Each structure stands twice: as C-alpha cells, then as structure tokens.
Chain A
Amino acid sequence: MKPPELVCPAGTPSAMRTAVDAGADAVYCGFQNATNARNFPGLNFTLPELEKSVAGAHAGGTRVLLAVNTFPPAGKVDLWKQAVDAGARIGVDAFIVADIGVADYIARTHPGIRLHLSVQAAAASPEAIRYYCREFNVMRVVLPRILTVPEIKSMAAEIPCEIETFIFGNHGLMVEGRCALTNYVTGLSTNMDGVCSPAAQVEYIRDDTGNLSTRLGDFTIDCFSCAENAGYPTICKGRYLTPAHDGAYYAFEEPISLNLSSLLPDLMQAGVSALKIEGRQRSRAYVKSVVSAYRRAVDSIMAGQDPQLDDLLALTEGQKQTQGAFESKRWR
C-alpha cells in the first residue's frame, strides 16, 4: 500500500509552518480575495507571504496546493487568472479548481502544473470526474463528503485519477459549489465571493438567562441555552420550525464535525491517495493537534500497527463527532 498524502489546512503563514512541522505531506491555502472558498476576514496569504511560505514548505519537503476554487462571475475572470499566474510563478505544486473556465485556463497556460478538482465542483459520479480528467487532465479529485467507503472504493476503480477525501473537520451538508443560502441572506455569494456566513453579518445576542441567539443578516438561525455546546453560525447548522416537526430542530444537521480516524485503514484500502483535514479558518493550535494526531495514525497504519488516535473531540463543532455519510447510507 502506498502511503497516503496528508493534506493539511493553512490559513496563515504561521499555520502553514505549524502544519509542515507537524508532519503534513501537503498544505492547501489561498490568496486574500474571492478566488478561494475561504475568503474570510484576516485569513489567507498575500502574494509575498505565499512566495515566502512556498519556499519554506518546500524546504521542509511539503507540497503546496493553491485553492483557486470559486466561480468567477462574468467580468471578473481576470482576478482568477492573476491568482493562477502568480501561483505558477512562485512554484505551487498544484491548483485546486472548480470552475470550467478556470480549469481550461490552467490546462492551456500552465500544463506542467497539476490540476486537482475541488470539492466545490461537486463531481460525485465517475462520469462527472472522468469528464474533468478528459477535458483538463485533472490528476486528483476531492470527493464530496457524501459517499460511503464502499462507494469510494468502487469509484476508485472507475476513474483515472487520484482520490482525496476529507477525514476531519467541519461537516458541510449542502453539496459544495451548489449553495446560495449565504447570498440569499447576506448578499455575498459562497460561489462568487468565497464567503460562507460572513462574520460582518453574524451577531450573537445573549439574553438575561444566558441563552445565546445567533443572527445572520435579518434572520435568527439558532439559539443555544447556556448548557448547550455551540456550532458554526451557518444556515445549514441552524435550528428551525416546520409544521411536520414537533418543536425546533436541526433541519439540516446538528453542529457536529467529521472524524474518520477509525475508518482510516478502510479508506486507505479503498484506494484513497490523499487524506484532507478541513479548517483553514482554524487556529495554529488546531492545526498542530489535528495534523500531529493524523500523522501518527497514518504512520502506524503503514507500519502495520493499530492507529493510536488522540482524542480530538475538544476541537470538534458542538464537541460532537460523526463518520457522516462515509459509514452508512442511513445518514442520507
């Protein structure tokens, strides 16, 4: 069995150094603008920062994958092309893309650089993935977090490229690249602006009893009593009312994080080439704990031992974890 690549998040230069030191085989990152799907305030890299960070990562033997994985709206395509050209100039090892126009630009302009298909492209069938491989010579697909391990295994047999799957972190519920909920509420688009629940429009309101209401734009999306753990302030993690359900409920999903540590051997057997840790918006402390834990786990599996996994529960959303769709179709 070939050792899988451990692909780790880097939201800032120091997070990237932390990931490299903790044993990341590759890191993924983006520029400080709409060209990537984590365009959050204070996060990501300026060009000089990324240039310096790429050199540092390469010195540590770590590859750098640049996410250019949003969908440029008509009239703004140049910003995405500039991001790609800048990435090529400073020597990134691969581009992670979702938009067909951007993929085509890279395939034509920088054919020597690897192309990875972002989860934002929502390619969930062998035919969809084969299409991108045929048209743009995609070398790796990041699978949506909606397939079971047996489904991933049969996928691996049917596609001509490597598979990367998420193993830890925020558990997105909507098909990525196909969600306009944030734009409906805030006027900022996940696909076009790289924004999900923009902090500028999130408001936490605490009442006298300690209950914490979360508001996004004009809408209340959740309310936590004092004793409850909280989650990300996203629409898909909120609680709502509907006549068919008795009382408030998580209409889409509870605040919960993906943790596939116990499925690692199965994923590796299924033919997964790269294991991805979510969380470019998280801190250095998160990167350090999660990356080191998974580094040790992958190394033990490769050495034929049982993986010893630290308890990562404290870092999970709502302090709850799940194997999500990977384990069973019942999740759907």
Chain B
Amino acid sequence: MTTSATPRQSLGFLRQRPRWAPPAPLFLLQPLLRRIAQTVAAENPDMFGRLGPHYNALFVIDPVDMPFILLLRPDPENLLLALHRRGNVPDHAARISGSFLDLLMLIDGDLDGDALFFGRKLSVTGNTEAIVCLRNALDDVEGSIAGTVANMFGFAGRAALEALRRASAKQGEPA
C-alpha cells in the first residue's frame, strides 16, 4: 500500500495543473469555502461541543500533494475555513498533513485516522489534544460532510465526489 498510487483517470482534473504553476487566485475561492463551512456548521450544531476548549484554535490542514493549505477555525461564532498559500503560514495550534484524498476521506468518516497515522500516511504536529478533539468532532458528524458540500454544487459536485471516492477505494486496496 502506498500513497503514491497512480491516480485514477477521473481524478485527472485535480492533477493536471503542474505543481510549479501558480494556483488559481485563491481569493476567488474564499466565498465558496465560507459557504461550505457555514452549511456544515448549521447542519451539525452538536459537533462544536466535542471541541472543548479548542473551538477557537486555528488548525492547518495540509494536503501535501496540493499547492495550497487550508486554515480552519471551528468556532461557531467566528467560523473560518480558508485556502492559504504555502510559505507564510500564520501561527496555528496544530497541523495535520496527508494526501488530499486521505484527508478528504478522513473528514468524511470513510477512513480511520489512527490507521492512517499508524501507516505514517498522516502526520500531526502542534497541540495533539486539539487534533484529537477535532477528529472526534468530525467523526461524530452524521452523514457525509463531503456529501453536503457536493450537494451544494448539484450534479457536478456529486459526480466529482463519486470519482474521488472510487479513486480512494482503489488506493485503499491492499497492494
């Protein structure tokens, strides 16, 4: 099993842009991410209780195979989910790094975080307790966060998610 498994063809749209090319203007994506975060938060008000004292911590979610990172502050009063360029990362409580697919499946409850960690596919730095709280909060979210997001984009969103899931299932098969 390896993280560098060949992506399925349907994932090509994620990989086409060479890594050295500048990412699309990130500010154009911000309103979209804000909407995603607000939708998920509104549908799952209970999840914030599991964050305990870490609800206003700043998390860096780092898809190592992408040219960007995500900043997340899961504070219902002051919610933040934003793309950020690599390089000048602001002060943060904790950082979770892994492949984009693994992180997506993890958030969606399809993969087990401990198993990814044991297999060294996921690495964490910073405040470990904050990460454990976030993991447990997301894991208790009913249904699929990715599904919620996909639904916001209608048929195209759902199709893209299905493609990702198929790719992930292939990737998860024993080598």
Contact = CB atoms under 8 A, between A and B. Distances in A.
Given A199-B131, A285-B109, A314 B123 contact: no
B118 interface: yes
B113 interface: yes
Contacts of A204: 123-125, 128
Contacts of A15: 139-140
B32 to A, nearest CB: 27
A285 B112 contact: yes
Contacts of A228: 120
Interface string A184-200: 00000000000000111
Contacts of A12: 50, 136, 139-140
Interface stretch (A21-29, A41-49, A115-123, A263-271): A41-49
Contacts of A226: 120
Interface size class of B (residues with CB under 8 A): 35 or more
Interface in B90-129: 109-115, 117-120, 123-125, 127-129
A221 interface: no
A21 to B, nearest CB: 12
Given A41-B133, A41-B136, A314-B174, A200 B128 contact: yes
Given A41-B129, A199-B129, A283-B109, A13 B118 contact: no
Contacts of A286: 112, 114-115
B131 A315 contact: no
Contacts of A41: 52, 54, 129, 132-133, 136
B115 A315 contact: yes
B28 interface: no
A255 interface: yes
Size bracket, chain A contacts: 35 or more
B141 interface: yes
Interface string A9-22: 00111110000000
Contacts of A43: 50, 136
Contacts of A281: 114
B71 interface: no
Contact of A11 (B51, B136, B141): B136
Nearest to B114: A282
B129 A200 contact: yes
Contacts of A46: 49
B129 A282 contact: no
B128 A203 contact: yes
Interface string A206-245: 1000001000000000001010111111000000000000
A284 interface: yes
Interface of B: 1, 46, 49-52, 54, 109-115, 117-120, 123-125, 127-129, 131-137, 139-142, 172, 174
Given A41-B132, A41-B136, A42-B52, 5 more contacts: A40-B132, A41-B52, A41-B133, A230-B117, A317-B114
Closest 3 CB pairs of A and B: A42-B136, A42-B133, A200-B129
